[in-house]
Every structure is written in C-alpha cells, then in structure tokens.
Amino acid sequence: KSFGLVAVVLFLSASLASLKKPAKLLLRASEGMIITFLTWLLISVASAFAFMLAGEIPGFVEAFFESVSGFTTTGSTIIQDVEAVSHFALFWRSFTHFVGGMGVLVFAFIITSGSADSVNIMKAEMPGPSFGKLTARLRTTALVLYAIYFVMTLVTIFMLYLGDMSLFDAIIHGLGAAGTGGFSSKNASIGYYNSSYINWVLTIAMLLFGVNFQVYFISLTRGIRQGLKSEELRWYFGIYLSMSLLVFLDNLRLYGSPAFSFEHSFFAVSSLMSTTGYSTADFTLWPLVSQLLLLLAMMIGGSAGSTAGGMKVSRLVVYLKSVREQIIKTREPRQISSVRMDGEILPDTVKHSVLRYLSIYLMFLIMGTLLVSFDSNDIMTSFSEAVTALNNVGPGLGAAGPASNFHQFNDFTKIVLSFLMIAGRLELLPVLLFFSPKTWKSTT
C-alpha cells in the first residue's frame, strides 16, 4: 500500500502542477540541470519513505540507497535476502528501473503538458554527449522514445516467460534489462535459473537496450540500412565482441569447456557494458585479465541516448579521434585534419565538451574512491565501488562483487555512493553545479 500511495501522490503532484500554466520565463541550462538533480533527489527520498513505511527497509540511509540505485538504474542493493521481500516491493524496485531507464522527467513530460523551456531540463535528463532532435516537438519525441522502449520491454518479458521463468520473474527481469538496472527477484541473480536459453535472451536484450534509441527511430522511419550506418553503433558492437572474445579466451583456463566459457563470458560483458549488472557467475573469481576487462567494460558503458550508463561509446570514439588528430598535427603541422562522426566534421565545442566531461569524470572517480576507502576497504573494492556507482552498473569487484551486497558498508559510504549514482546518471554536471557556491551566487 505504501508504494502505491507514493506512486499516486507523485502522479497527482505532477498532474496538478501541469494544470497551472507557468508565467513565461526562460530557464537557463544550469537552472534546468539543478531542477533535474533536485527532482531525482526528491523522488528517491519519496521512494525511501515507501520502503520504510512498508517495513521492507527500516533505516532511511539504506532505503534511500536502494531507491537511488533503482531510479538511476544502478542495481546495487542492500537487501540481504531478496527472496524474502514482498512481491509488491520487488515490483516497485524494478519499476523504478523502468522509469529511470528513459528518465524520470522524460516520463513526467508524457503525463503532463511540459513547457517551452523544458528543453533545458530534458537536456540534463537524456544520457550522452549530444541531444539530437528526433521530432520537432519535445513531448512527441518523448512519446516515440517510450513507445519503442515499451515494445522492446514487452518482447523481452515475453521471451523470458517462454523460458523457465514465472510471469512475475519475467516481468522483474524484463524491466531490469530494459532500464539496464539489474535488480533481481533471486539472490543468485540470473545464475539461479541455470538456463542457457534465459542467459542468451538476456545477453541479447541487455546489448540492445545499450544501443542509442535514435538508431531504432531512424530504422523505423528511414529504414534499417540508414539506422545501421551509425558509426557509434559499429564501435559499440565492435568493442563488445572484442572484449567478449578476450574474456572467453581467458576463461578457458578456468572453465575448460568452450561452450560454458563462451556463454558466461558473452553474458558478463553484455551485462556490464550495458551497465545492467545481472550475473550468472561470480566474476570476482575469474582470472585477473578478465576482471580488468570487465572493469573497463563498466567504465565505457553503452551508447549515448540509450538506457545504459558509463562514459558512453560516442565519447570514447570522439576522444580517440581527437588524440589521433593531435598526433597528425604534431607530426605534420601543415596537414589539414579533422574529427568526423557519421561523415560530419565535429566542431571544436563538441571535442572540448568530451574532454571536459572526461576530466570531471576522473575527478569524481578519484574523489569517490578516496571517500569510500574510509570504510576500511581494500583498494580494489574501493575503486570498483566508485566505478560501479558512477557508471550505474551494480556489482563491482572485491567485496562489492555479485556474490555480495552493499549492506556491509557503513552509512557514510552508502551516502557517498548514492550521490555518485545520481551524478553518473545525470552526466555529472548537474551535481557539480548544485554543489558549486558560484551557482547560487549567480541566482541570488
């Protein structure tokens, strides 16, 4: 009842707010980002109270952590025995993945009228380095994205139901895959089912939800061939296949069976690169090379404009091409070179924004690792905790691996990780702006 009450209150609040047309005022990009951050913060607090009122998670810090993990589609949990949790609470956790996957505020624009200035809020909400207009109207764009998202989710649920999953479990894991979140109804995650069919369904589903949704939109409106021309898409699948094959070869020493190693290696890379976080095996027991490759997959993440977290493949591509451009200019100063994506020359502003993001990302990662290390963790656990939170992955390495949960860490660590999760989901800048004193001085 408490979860339903919170959902109704949030829905009515958004609906009532939309009845009164705001006076015309221009929201600056920074103000839109702060509004976005506060919205994510408040909706997580509301969900935390629902967990507490239901008696599922008594402490506020742990309830807040679980809620933030859900809405940011991270999937890290403090619940020690998820199989003892009520079905409604399990559904609520996975529903937060579904809503958070395409954005809390994108969802709000569908149920409300939106406003002329809402583009600056939506910019802060949408993942990735660019914001492409798929259609002329913002609300229509949100509807198109959610329609694609909803259909893909239903197909995933149906395919899982055809396996050894109950309808409830299929819904839970379908919503988790769609939002690339990773909350499960089983303590052993997907490993509980011991089913090759389920493993491959989710491997494909997680990978597809990590694709830029603009690719699907273009494929629907202009044909599949046009959609497949996306350079980011080719890089995304290229990186995935390369990493999966390397992990597979490395794991042959551990498993011996090529088929077994192939299945679990491809699943793990799909799960962590899409930042879903489902597991079929405890990869903290895998060889070191495999663990490092999985850590790299967590950090790279999925495509821009997908439900996945991470730095995004498009940023990696732009960065690598920018480095190549600088090498060419240094070697041959007179030669004219440029960075292109999908055949178009990228302006310097895009390249600078990517470098700025990577600098801020590194700052958050170092600071996060330092802060959580006060919990007396080893360096691998501390670093992977920060990585998994900042990239919205779920399980990490060391003591934060898939066979463990985050209940073991102290409240300070959980609060730090909660803010890292929000920062990662909102592409860092909104959180940085919120805590910057200059932001508030400029608005007073």
pLDDT digits (tens, 9 = 90+) for 61-93: 999 999 999 999 999 999 999 999 999 999 999
Residue 125's pLDDT is 52
Distance of CA 405 to the CA centre of its chain: 19
Residue 305's pLDDT is 84
* Whole-angstrom distance, CA of residue 197 vs CA of residue 361: 37
What residues contact 12, with CB distance under 8 A and at least 6 apart?
A: none
The DSSP call for residue 341 is: E
**Phi then psi for 337, rounded to 5 degrees?**
-135, 155
The DSSP call for residue 345 is: E
What residues contact 295, with CB distance under 8 A and at least 6 apart?
A: 384, 387, 397
**β-strand partners of 341:** 344
Residue 398's pLDDT is 87
**Which residue is associated with the tokens 């569908």?**
110
Enter the tokens of residue 55: 């008696």
Angle between helices 313-331 and 348-372 (to 10 degrees): 120
**Phi then psi for 341, rounded to 5 degrees?**
-135, 125
* Whole-angstrom distance, CA of residue 57 vs CA of residue 66: 9
Q: With beta carbons less than 8 A apart as the criterion, state whether 124 and 426 touch.
A: yes
Residue 117's pLDDT is 47
Residue 414's pLDDT is 96
Count CB neighbours of 68 within 10 A. 30
List of E strands, 296-409: 340-341, 344-345
Q: With beta carbons less than 8 A apart as the criterion, state whether 186 and 192 touch.
A: yes
As a whole number of angstroms, the longest Cα–Cα distance in the chain is 70
* Whole-angstrom distance, CA of residue 307 vs CA of residue 72: 10
* Whole-angstrom distance, CA of residue 46 vs CA of residue 109: 19
Q: What is the DSSP string of 147-196?
A: HHHHHHHHHHHHHHHTTT--HHHHHHHHHHHHTT----SSTTGGGGT--H
**Phi then psi for 344, rounded to 5 degrees?**
-105, 140
* Portion of the chain with pLDDT greater than 70, in percent: 84
* Whole-angstrom distance, CA of residue 426 vs CA of residue 104: 11
Q: What is the DSSP string of 8-64?
A: HHHHHHHHHHHHSPPPP-PPPHHHHHHHHHHHHHHHHHHHHHHHHHTTSS-SHHHHH
pTM of the model: 0.88
**Phi then psi for 345, rounded to 5 degrees?**
-70, 130
Residue 391's pLDDT is 95
Determine whether 355 is exposed, middle or buried from the number of CB atoms within 10 Å of its CB (0-12, 13-18, 19+): middle
SS3 percent helix, strand, coil of the chain, rounded to 5, is 70, 0, 30
- The residue type found at 326 is Q
Q: With beta carbons less than 8 A apart as the criterion, state whether 3 and 92 touch.
A: yes
Enter the tokens of residue 298: 């967590």
How far, CA to CA in Å, does 404 sit from each of 40, 78, 87, 212, 264? 27, 9, 22, 31, 19
Q: What is the DSSP string of 230-243?
A: -HHHHHHHHHHHHH
The residue count of the chain comes to 444
The pLDDT tens digits for 171-215 are 999 999 999 998 999 999 999 999 999 999 999 999 999 999 889
* Residue ranges, the chain, pLDDT below 70: 1-29, 104-139, 141, 439-444
Residue 127's pLDDT is 52
